[in-house]
Amino acid sequence: MEKFKNKYRIPSTRLQGYDYGSNGMYHVTICTKNRIHFLGQIVASVETDNYPSLQPTVIGNIAYQYWTKIPAHYPFVELDVFVIMPNHIHGILFFNKPGYDEWNTNKFGVQSKNLGAVIRGFKSTTKRFANENKIEFEWQERFHDHIIRDEQSLNNIMQYIIDNPLNWSNDGFNTP
């Protein structure tokens, strides 16, 4: 295993040699620490014709608000479909940087204007709100990502995200 500053560290799950700041679509999943249901609970709602949806906690509402504000902080990011679940978030982010023609491979160290920076900003502002308001809340250290490469993959992922509340009882992320 690689060492950093004489300490063991977990190897990156990012695609080696890929530019995570390049134009494209990314499916991300961000989990709460130990998959604790900090963000709310799934309930059937009269407003949604008994279609299951999230009944959010305070921090679930904040996560929703901060997610929708990502483009205000990162103007090159456009939001696509997303869902807040009791212990995770699924979303599609579209990076649109007109004239972007560089290729900067994923590397260890300080980075900005890429997927890691966007997710780090989202997670840190949500956590800061929780700390300032004395709300028990923690994110899992990492996040999952998938580079969306074609329309069929995009459509499958969009449907998966849309159906996530409906499939919550069988979801692998649904831990007690």
pLDDT in tens, 28-40: 999 999 999 999 9
According to the model, what pLDDT value does residue 47 have? 60
Q: How far from chain centre, in Å, is Cα 153?
A: 18
Residue 94 burial by Cβ neighbours in a 10 Å radius (0-12, 13-18, 19+): middle
Q: Kindly report, residue by residue over 72-113, the tens digit of the pLDDT.
A: 999 999 999 999 999 999 999 999 988 877 766 655 555 678
According to the model, what pLDDT value does residue 21 have? 83
Q: How confident is the model at residue 42 (pLDDT cuts 50, 70, 90)?
A: very high
As beta bridge partners, residue 174 has none
According to the model, what pLDDT value does residue 11 have? 53
Q: Where do the DSSP E strands lie in 96-168?
A: 144-148
Question: Of 16-20, 112-116, 142-146, where does mean pLDDT reach its minimum?
Answer: 16-20
Count of positions (residues) in the chain: 176
Could you give the CA distance from residue 91 to residue 83 in angstroms, rounded to a whole number?
Answer: 6
The mean of the pLDDT values for the chain is: 87
Distance set, CA 17 to CA 13, 58, 164 (Å)? 12, 39, 31
Element containing residue 30 per DSSP (H, E) = strand 24-31
* pLDDT surpasses 80 at 135: yes
Instruction: State both tokens at 163.
Output: 């159906």
According to the model, what pLDDT value does residue 76 have? 95
pTM over 0.75: yes
* Residue whose C-alpha is closest to residue 60's, from 76, 38, 32: 38
According to the model, what pLDDT value does residue 10 have? 54
Instruction: State both tokens at 125.
Output: 């502002």
Q: What is the CA radius of gyration of the chain?
A: 17
* pLDDT surpasses 70 at 62: yes
More confident residue, 171 or 28: 28
Question: Of 9-18, 60-69, 154-163, where does mean pLDDT reach its minimum?
Answer: 9-18
Span between the terminal Cα atoms of the chain, in Å: 33
